[in-house]
C-alpha cells in the first residue's frame, strides 16, 4: 500500500516531537485528538449534571454530606470553553498533514488542562473524602497511548503533582480546607495530619506509576503488533501486485498467438481453404466457439489486471452524464434478453446525471450487471432498473427475479473466477470475472456496491457513486 502524503512522517521534527511521540502517524495523532475532544464534551455534560444534582435539596436532614455545586459549574464551564477552543485548533491542525510537532504539543496541552480541571474538582469535592481522584487514571492510560514511554512517564509525574496539589496546599494552609462533610461529623481533620497527607500522596504516586507501567507495556506491545501487521500487509500487497503483473504479462503473450489461431480457424470455417466435409466443419465450428470464449477470458483477465493496478489518481475520470451510457446498455441488454423473453423495465428520469467517471468503465459495469441479471433470470422474467439521485450521490439498482444467490456466497461473488453452483448449472459458459471487474470499477470511482439476494427469488445489485 503506497503511503499517502498524510501518512508520511515529517522529516524535521522539533525536540518536543522527538521526545514525546510514540511512533504514531500524523493521521493517528489527529484522530486521537478528535476523540479526546469528543470525550471531553461528555465530561463537560457530566459536570453540568453534577451541578444540577448538587443543587437538589438533600434527601436527609441533616444532610450526610454537602457538595458545593459551584465547583461543578466552574469545571464544566472551563471544560466547555477549552474544548470549544480545542475544536477550532484541531480543525487547523487536521488540515496540516505535517503537523506532528504541533499535534504533540496540542495533546499535551489538552492533558494539562484536564489535570488542572480535575485538580480543581478534587479540591471542591473534599480531596481525600471522595474517590474523584480515580478520574486521573484514564488520563494516565491515554498518555501511554499518545506519547512515548519517557514522555508519558514525565506527564504521569505531572499528573501526580496535580492530583496531590489540593491536599498539599490545604496541608500547608495556602488554600482553605474544603470538606463535603459537616465539620461536627468529621472524625479527624485529615489535612492537618502529616502522616495522612504523606501516605495519601504516596498512595497516589504508587497507583499512578503502577497504572503507567502496566498499561504502557501493553500499549507498546499492541503498537508493535500493529506495525508488524501493517508491514506484513504491505508485503502481501506487493506480492499480489507482482503476481498480477506476471499474470498480465503471460496473458498478453498468450493473446497474440491465440488471435492468430482464431483467425486460422475462421479461415478454415468460412471455406477459404476449400470446402470441408460435414464432420470436420462441425469440429471447426466448436473450435471457433471455444476460441471466442477463451479470447473473452483473456480480455477479461487483462482488463481486470489493468483495473487492479489503476488508482483514482491515475485514471482519467471526467464529468460524465451516466444516463445515456446506462440507457445504451439497457438497449443492448434488451436484445440479449429477447431470445429468452426476459424484459427490462426501466423508468429513468433523463435529466442529466453528472458524475466524475470514465465512460468506458461505466459501460463495462452496467453491461456486466445487466447481463448477469438476464442470464440468471428465469424464462419470461423481468429485470428492473432504477436510478435514484441522492444528496451528492447517485444510486443505480438492477433487480432481477431469477435464481438468486446462496447467502454463504454473497461475499465471494466479487472474487475473480468464483461461480456459485446454481449459476454454473444455469449458465455453464461464463467466466466468473464480471463482478470482479465491476467491483474494481466501483472502487476506482469512489463508490460502493451492495447486493441483496434471496435464493430462488432474485437478486438486487445497488451501486452508489459520488455525484
Of the pair 355, 405, the CB lying nearest ligand ADP is at 405
All cell numbers assigned to 24:
504514531
Determine which residue in the list 44, 152, 197, 430 makes contact with ligand ADP, applying CB under 6 A.
430
Determine which residue in the list 54, 405, 441, 444 makes contact with ligand ADP, applying CB under 6 A.
405
DSSP lists the bridge partners of residue 393 as 390, 466
Task: List, as one string, the DSSP characters of 251-271.
Answer: HHHHHHHHHHHHHHHHHHHTT
DSSP 147: B
- Of 6-14, 39-47, 204-212, 367-375, the window that binds ligand ADP (rule: CB under 6 A) is 367-375
Instruction: Tell whether residue 449 is a contact of ligand ADP (CB under 6 A).
Output: no
Instruction: Tell whether residue 50 is a contact of ligand ADP (CB under 6 A).
Output: no
Instruction: Put residue 466 in one of left, alpha, beta given phi > 0 → left and psi -120 to 50 → alpha.
Output: beta
Count of residues in contact with ligand ADP, rule CB under 6 A: 22
Q: How far is 443 from 311, CA to CA, in rounded Å?
A: 9
- Of 68-76, 214-222, 333-341, 432-440, the window that binds ligand ADP (rule: CB under 6 A) is 432-440
Of the pair 20, 342, the CB lying nearest ligand ADP is at 342
Q: Which of 460, 214, 312 is nearest to 4 (CA)?
A: 312
Q: What minimum distance in Å lies between the beta carbon of 422 and ligand ADP?
A: 7
Q: What minimum distance in Å lies between the beta carbon of 381 and ligand ADP?
A: 11
Phi/psi of residue 393, each to 5°? -145, 155
Instruction: Tell whether residue 442 is a contact of ligand ADP (CB under 6 A).
Output: no
Phi/psi of residue 411, each to 5°? -75, -30
- Of 32-40, 210-218, 234-242, 425-433, the window that binds ligand ADP (rule: CB under 6 A) is 425-433
Which residues lie below 8 Å from residue 411, measured CB to CB, with a gap of 6+?
none
Determine which residue in the list 20, 24, 435, 463 makes contact with ligand ADP, applying CB under 6 A.
435
Determine which residue in the list 127, 216, 402, 447 makes contact with ligand ADP, applying CB under 6 A.
402
Of the pair 349, 408, the CB lying nearest ligand ADP is at 408
Q: Which of 430, 389, 439, 374 is nearest to 411 (CA)?
A: 439
All cell numbers assigned to 358:
470514465
By the criterion CB under 6 A, which residues form the site for ligand ADP? 368, 372-373, 376, 400, 402-405, 413, 418-420, 423, 430-436, 459
Amino acid at each position: 500500500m503506497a503511503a499517502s502524503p498524510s501518512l508520511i512522517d515529517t522529516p524535521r521534527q522539533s525536540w518536543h516531537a522527538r521526545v514525546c511521540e510514540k511512533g504514531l502517524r500524523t493521521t493517528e495523532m489527529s484522530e486521537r485528538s478528535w476523540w479526546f475532544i469528543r470525550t471531553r464534551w461528555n465530561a463537560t455534560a457530566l459536570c453540568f449534571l453534577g451541578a444540577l444534582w448538587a443543587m437538589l435539596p438533600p434527601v436527609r436532614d441533616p444532610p450526610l454530606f454537602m457538595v458545593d455545586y459551584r465547583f461543578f459549574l466552574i469545571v464544566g464551564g472551563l471544560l466547555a470553553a477549552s474544548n470549544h477552543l480545542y475544536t477550532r485548533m484541531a480543525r487547523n491542525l487536521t488540515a496540516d498533514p505535517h503537523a506532528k510537532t504541533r499535534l504533540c504539543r496540542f495533546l499535551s496541552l489538552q492533558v494539562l488542562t484536564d489535570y488542572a480541571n480535575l485538580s480543581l474538582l478534587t479540591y471542591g469535592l473534599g480531596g481525600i473524602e471522595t474517590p474523584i481522584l480515580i478520574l486521573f487514571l484514564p488520563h494516565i492510560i491515554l498518555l501511554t497511548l499518545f506519547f512515548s514511554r519517557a514522555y508519558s512517564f514525565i506527564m504521569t509525574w505531572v499528573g501526580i503533582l496535580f492530583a496531590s496539589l489540593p491536599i498539599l496546599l490545604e496541608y500547608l494552609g495556602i488554600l482553605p480546607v474544603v470538606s463535603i462533610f459537616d465539620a461536627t461529623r468529621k472524625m479527624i481533620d485529615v489535612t492537618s495530619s502529616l502522616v495522612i497527607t504523606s501516605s495519601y500522596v504516596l498512595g497516589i504516586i504508587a497507583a499512578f506509576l503502577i497504572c503507567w507501567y502496566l498499561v504502557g507495556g501493553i500499549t507498546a506491545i499492541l503498537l508493535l503488533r500493529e506495525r508488524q501487521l501493517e508491514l506484513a500487509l504491505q508485503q502481501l500487497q506487493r506480492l499480489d501486485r507482482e503476481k498480477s503483473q506476471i499474470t498480465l504479462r503471460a496473458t498478453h503473450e498468450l493473446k497474440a498467438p491465440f488471435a492468430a489461431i482464431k483467425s486460422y480457424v475462421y479461415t478454415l470455417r468460412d471455406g477459404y481453404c476449400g470446402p470441408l466435409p460435414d464432420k470436420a466443419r462441425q469440429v471447426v465450428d466448436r473450435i471457433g466457439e471455444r476460441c471466442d470464449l477463451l479470447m473473452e477470458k483473456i480480455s477479461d483477465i487483462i482488463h481486470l489486471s489493468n483495473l487492479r493496478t489503476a488508482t483514482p489518481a491515475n485514471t482519467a475520470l471526467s464529468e460524465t452524464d451516466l444516463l445515456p451510457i446506462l440507457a445504451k446498455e439497457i438497449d443492448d441488454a434488451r436484445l440479449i434478453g429477447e431470445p429468452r423473453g426476459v424484459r427490462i423495465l426501466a423508468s429513468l428520469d433523463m435529466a442529466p446525471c453528472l458524475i466524475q467517471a470514465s465512460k468506458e468503465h461505466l459501460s463495462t459495469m452496467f453491461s456486466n450487471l445487466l447481463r448477469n441479471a438476464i442470464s440468471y433470470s428465469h424464462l419470461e422474467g423481468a429485470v428492473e432498473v432504477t436510478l435514484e439521485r441522492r444528496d451528492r450521490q447517485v444510486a443505480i439498482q438492477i433487480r432481477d427475479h431469477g435464481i438468486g444467490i446462496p447467502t454463504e456466497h454473497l461475499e465471494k461473488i466479487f472474487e475473480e473466477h468464483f461461480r456459485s453452483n446454481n449459476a454454473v448449472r444455469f449458465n455453464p459458459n461464463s467466466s466468473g470475472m464480471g463482478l470482479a471487474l465491476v467491483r474494481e470499477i466501483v472502487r476506482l470511482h469512489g463508490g460502493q456496491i451492495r447486493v441483496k439476494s434471496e435464493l430462488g427469488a432474485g437478486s438486487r445489485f445497488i451501486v452508489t457513486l459520488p455525484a
